[in-house]
Structure 1
Amino acid sequence: MAQLDLLLPEGKIGNYTIQDTVELAKAAEAAEFRTVWKGESYSTNSFMNLSSIATATETINLGTAITNVFTRPPALIAMSAATLDMLSDGRTVLGLGVSTETVIKSWYGQSYERPLRRTREMIEVLQAMFAEETVEYDGEIFDVGPYPVGFDMDRETMPIYNAAMGPTNCRLTGEYADGWLPVYTPPETIRTLYEEEILHGVEAADRDPADVSVTPLVTTSVAETTAAARTQARRSLAQAMAVGYNGHVAQFGFGDAPDEAAAHWRKGNRDAATAAICDPMVDELTVAGTPEECRSRLQELQEQTGADTISVMPPYTATPADIESMLTALEPITST
């Protein structure tokens, strides 16, 4: 048995309606997935989308993956998350991250300064806002309060996950966050970062390792043939490289492939970008194959990484029907 989550698709506006994501979340709940996550690097607002899902589901958790730490002040993130938590009867998981410099500068029009310090302070301020009646915080980035909070949540706090990639950010995660959302990272590296960095932060803060959950976000392509699935996964990786993950992925020994894919994609040559993705990238960064192959690989991946949950990311080209088929294909390992 594997514990799975679903990262709902971004999709260009028009390709996925709000109702599409609501129906996919309902299907994930029926397939016994633990959490549906929603990003917002473009397309729909994650909190508003998840609010629609909250009223149509009963048990599945609702997570942001991710809300970046640059484009909303702590108070707005806290109010949005608390509102979603009240709508969902306490099912919200707040996933934070620095996103990428490309996204923050090009899409949001913000400067990408001191991302790790901003992340640490954001987590600290939010934890105070969720737990205290009055918040007062004097940091290097944020100066808040004293101010009455006024949230009416049914629980004292809310889990906060961090989408850390580098060693320092992973240590920060172990010290301050409730969970870790690694992405585009090989399984062995996830295990190493957890053992050497996450646990270092846990120890520094005198915390219990069980207090930090691990949920890798993994591109997952299920198709009738292995070749078709790998082609979908390859194209998704090419697009991810273009939005700024090439710098992160380049450190894992894939040669020039990440940078070449990013360069071709940004010039509009999608086919060349897809072809630039090497086989080891598909092997290490995705799960791609027939239903049986993907079920086996996801179970293996959870054991390899030591993850509490694997969050499957559908290929960018997947339609709502494709994702529903994927959920059906993977249900045998979530419900056994």
Structure 2
Amino acid sequence: MTSRTLHLPVSAPDHVESFVEYASLGEAVGYDHVWLPETWGRDAVSVLTRIASETDEIGIGPSVLNVYSRSPALVGQTAATLQELSAGRLRLAVGPSGRAVIEGWHGASFDRPLRRTREFIDVVRAVLSGDVVDYDGDIFSLGGFRLRCDPPETPVPIEAAGMGPTSVELAGRFADGWHAIVFTPDGFRERMADLERGIELGGRTRGDVTTTLSLTASVHEDGEHARRRCRNHLAFYVGAMGTYYRESLARQGYEDEATAIAAAFANDDRDRVHEIVDDEMLADLAIAGTPAEAREQLARWEAIDGLDELAISFPRGATDDEVRQTIRTLGPDT
């Protein structure tokens, strides 16, 4: 059975406490886990610390920490600390992000992202073991590092984001989970073959790897308002976040649409975006509509073969009331 989790808003709320309130609401209506993206707003670690202190049962984790702006040893220390603060509720998700973010925002070279992700996972896992870390990789070399506290009693799953065939294979081979975003149901199923190949290459079993799909959702009494929110959100990801979302959509059969969306976004032509992202394409990439429509759409996504966890996320521009309504409407216990 597919579990339901929350992927908190990318757009920064007015206050840190809003994240805490969304997580608490999610816990109250039955979500299993709350994921926090880290983009250009608050840092994920500080906010997750607050969430851990104000909740009791819901799992926590970043999705994702990029593998360039922090060292893997530091992320290992951070994971050990968050696991202690949350009493064993942490899952850690990492990924390379993309060139526009890493070079444009962090001033680092977007070099060998897959190799870096693989070694990053290795080092974080070694740090969390509590043993002395002596690691000699192509990207990272460490000698003599060891936690000066007890390692976590509950092991921290280390999961990896990926959209392309090779990155998804890497998640299957080396990580404890795969995080997917901007996927159609058929696109997700196609990438499952890459994940399973990685699992086989790593000598693992399917039960060793959790699959999580982040799905944009907007619920509003005015269904067309909700659909506009999601169309604008998709346009931002395709038009402003480098080329990797565009390339992912192209692999999933939407190459012409992705190219046209990027052009329309560059020209600030929102009307054109809404024409390109028709109802069929929107239904393939989001949940959007009235409460009744959203609940009906939810069943299609939870029926995807191979999907362990559906993470409900929110479009850019969603108001506080819209986020809360979406959390409540799609809550497992609602």
Match of 1:201 among 198, 201, 215: 198
Distance (whole Å) between structure 1 residues aligned to residue 162 and residue 149 of structure 2: 28
Amino acid at match of 2:109: S
Distance 1:305 1:298, change over 3 A: farther
| 2:205 maps to 1:214 | no
Show the counterpart of 2:181.
183
Show the counterpart of 2:283.
283
Amino acid at match of 1:221: S
Match of 2:72 among 60, 71, 74: 74
Show the counterpart of 1:6.
6
Tell me by how many angstroms 1:226 deviates.
3.2
Distance (whole Å) between structure 1 residues aligned to residue 107 and residue 273 of structure 2: 26
Show the counterpart of 2:29.
31
Given that residues 249 and 255 in structure 2 are in contact (C-alpha distance below 8 angstroms), is that contact kept between their aligned partners in structure 1? no
Distance 1:279 1:251, change over 3 A: farther
Amino acid at match of 1:20: S
Distance (whole Å) between structure 2 residues aligned to residue 270 and residue 153 of structure 1: 50
Tell me by how many angstroms 1:305 deviates.
3.8
Show the counterpart of 1:152.
150
Tell me by how many angstroms 1:269 deviates.
4.4
Match of 2:88 among 72, 90, 94: 90
RMSD: 1.8
Distance 1:275 1:81, change over 3 A: farther
Secondary structure, aligned partner of 1:264: helix
Distance 1:250 1:278, change over 3 A: farther
Show the counterpart of 1:113.
111
Deviations 1:187-208 (A, max 9, x none): 11212221x2111111122212
Distance (whole Å) between structure 1 residues aligned to residue 151 and residue 14 of structure 2: 31
Secondary structure, aligned partner of 1:215: strand
In the alignment, structure 1 segments of 5+ residues that lack a partner are none
| 2:237 maps to 1:240 | yes
Show the counterpart of 2:20.
22
**Percent of aligned pairs sharing the same letter:** 35
Distance (whole Å) between structure 2 residues aligned to residue 270 and residue 220 of structure 1: 19
Secondary structure, aligned partner of 1:55: helix
Show the counterpart of 2:135.
137
Amino acid at match of 1:290: T
Show the counterpart of 1:297.
297
Amino acid at match of 2:166: T
Match of 1:47 among 36, 45, 48: 45
Deviations 1:236-262 (A, max 9, x none): 101111212222222222243223322
Amino acid at match of 1:310: L
Tell me by how many angstroms 1:263 deviates.
3.4
Given that residues 188 and 305 in structure 1 are in contact (C-alpha distance below 8 angstroms), is that contact kept between their aligned partners in structure 2? no
Higher mean C-alpha deviation, range 97-106 or range 209-218: 97-106
Show the counterpart of 1:327.
327
Secondary structure, aligned partner of 1:181: strand
Amino acid at match of 1:222: V
Distance 1:60 1:283, change over 3 A: same
TM value normalised by structure 2: 0.93
Show the counterpart of 2:165.
167
Given that residues 254 and 280 in structure 1 are in contact (C-alpha distance below 8 angstroms), is that contact kept between their aligned partners in structure 2? no
Given that residues 64 and 95 in structure 1 are in contact (C-alpha distance below 8 angstroms), is that contact kept between their aligned partners in structure 2? yes
Higher mean C-alpha deviation, range 269-278 or range 81-90: 269-278
Distance (whole Å) between structure 2 residues aligned to residue 115 and residue 280 of structure 1: 33
Distance 1:151 1:246, change over 3 A: farther
Secondary structure, aligned partner of 1:165: coil
Distance (whole Å) between structure 1 residues aligned to residue 64 and residue 105 of structure 2: 15
Secondary structure, aligned partner of 1:72: coil
Given that residues 127 and 146 in structure 2 are in contact (C-alpha distance below 8 angstroms), is that contact kept between their aligned partners in structure 1? no
Distance (whole Å) between structure 2 residues aligned to residue 238 and residue 317 of structure 1: 13
Given that residues 24 and 320 in structure 1 are in contact (C-alpha distance below 8 angstroms), is that contact kept between their aligned partners in structure 2? no
In the alignment, structure 2 segments of 5+ residues that lack a partner are none
Distance (whole Å) between structure 2 residues aligned to residue 114 and residue 205 of structure 1: 21
Show the counterpart of 1:314.
314
Deviations 1:98-146 (A, max 9, x none): 1122111211122111110001111111111111321111100000112
